[in-house]
Amino acid sequence: MRALFRKAVTSLLTLRLLDAKRAAHVAAYGLRKFLLRQKLPGTSVFALTFKCFCKCGCCASGIFSDYFKDAMLPLEDAKRLIRKVAAAGTPRIHLTGGDPLAHKDLAAIARLASELGLVTFVETSAVTMTEVTVLALKEAGVSSINISLDSSDPALHDAGRAVGGCFAHAAEMIRLCVKHGQPCMISSYATRESIYVGDIFKLIAFAREAGCSGIRILAPQPSGNWIGNEAVILKKEDADYLEARLPLFFPVYNRTPQIDCPLKDGYKVFVLPDGNFAPCEHLPFIFKDSKDLDLAGLPAKINSYDFFRGEYACIPRSPEYRKQHPEVTKRGEGPIFL
């Protein structure tokens, strides 16, 4: 009951990120999905580039960044695909990478997404962010700037990203977001160590004290730089321990519990820098020649491949799935084209 109450409070507090147009877009999605039982993409992830300013040990983008290097999604392709996503009824978009701040047209891309009523998130390490960036993204209508922090300990965060001073700079960018009324969240991940030593709870406290709109806690994935490392996968008791200790009245978006994988329902749209689609950022698959993919046909396309048959919880975190498909655990061979 406590977890349900906490999630309900978090959902209510999240409404602060919605203006009237976005609220209408979210409501229409809910009506079509839950009342009319339509299979609609619930979220879109646009990897504008895999260029990055950090060298994170936890990076989940290894295979894609090796392949795409510093390629950028062209502005016109980004606009076309965002219009397609919005027309499909998808309520939100995450502009990510790499680091989307490396894309010179980030503000223009974010502005279009906002104008179309998408709840728009920018995912960044904030290494190159300035006050000018904060103001430009606010003017573009960004719902939240999600700033990555891996630890409440500046030394640990800086070492993990191989960029000296990046914790202090991220903290300063959070301060500037709050100063200018631009919603921002901390984005982090929970390991067993950070849960049981207590560092993740210190980071939650830091987010609250800094005036963040919330904090998102992701589950570590055996992908990218951790590919094949099943030791990083949290067990149910780890996620339960974390959930039981989260604050009731501060938004914590806890993504650590296992869920029934929505991939086969076409819930997620993942766009790559060349304009093609992929089923999931944590799996090494790319749909070749998919730039004109009809999103309504995404579930059928996914389910047409043997890779996605069978019942699993989160596919990237499923040991059973990786035993059946060992090719997904090999980084050096590059992406698998479907």
pLDDT in tens, 286-338: 999 999 999 988 988 998 998 888 888 888 888 888 888 888 887 777 899 99
What are 104's two structure tokens? 């010179």
Strand duo 277-278 + 268-271: pairing = antiparallel
What range does the domain containing 56 cover? 2-337
pLDDT of 132 reads 98
Three-state SS at 315: helix
Q: Give whole-number Cα distances, 120 to 76, 143, 230, in Å.
A: 18, 5, 32
Give backbone dihedrals phi and psi of 175, rounded to 5 degrees, phi first. Answer: -60, -40
The residue with greater pLDDT, 112 or 223, is 112
What are 141's two structure tokens? 């209508």
Number of domains in the chain: 1
What are 165's two structure tokens? 């001073």
Edge-to-edge strands, sheet with 268-271:
252-255, 214-218, 184-189, 144-148, 119-124, 92-96, 43-47, 268-271, 277-278
pLDDT of 276 reads 97
Q: Percentage of residues in the chain with pLDDT exceeding 70?
A: 100
Non-local CB neighbours of 322 within 8 Å, separated by 6+ positions? 222, 228, 230, 328, 329
Name the CA radius of gyration of the chain, rounded: 19
The CATH number given to whatever domain includes residue 118 is 3.20.20.70
Confidence grade of residue 181 (pLDDT, cut at 50, 70, 90): very high
Mean pLDDT along residues 243-251: 97
Non-local CB neighbours of 100 within 8 Å, separated by 6+ positions? 48, 49, 106, 122, 123, 124
Q: Over the stretch 161-176, which tens digit does the pLDDT of each residue have? A: 999 999 999 999 999 9
On the question of a cis peptide bond just before residue 310, with omega within 30 degrees of 0, the verdict is: no
pLDDT of 126 reads 98
DSSP assignment letter at 86: H
Q: Nearest-CA neighbor of 227 among 162, 302, 283?
A: 283
Q: Over the stretch 208-242, which tens digit does the pLDDT of each residue have? A: 999 999 999 999 888 877 777 888 899 999 999 99
Confidence grade of residue 56 (pLDDT, cut at 50, 70, 90): confident
Entry pTM: 0.96
Q: Give whole-number Cα distances, 299 to 40, 46, 118, in Å.
A: 9, 19, 22
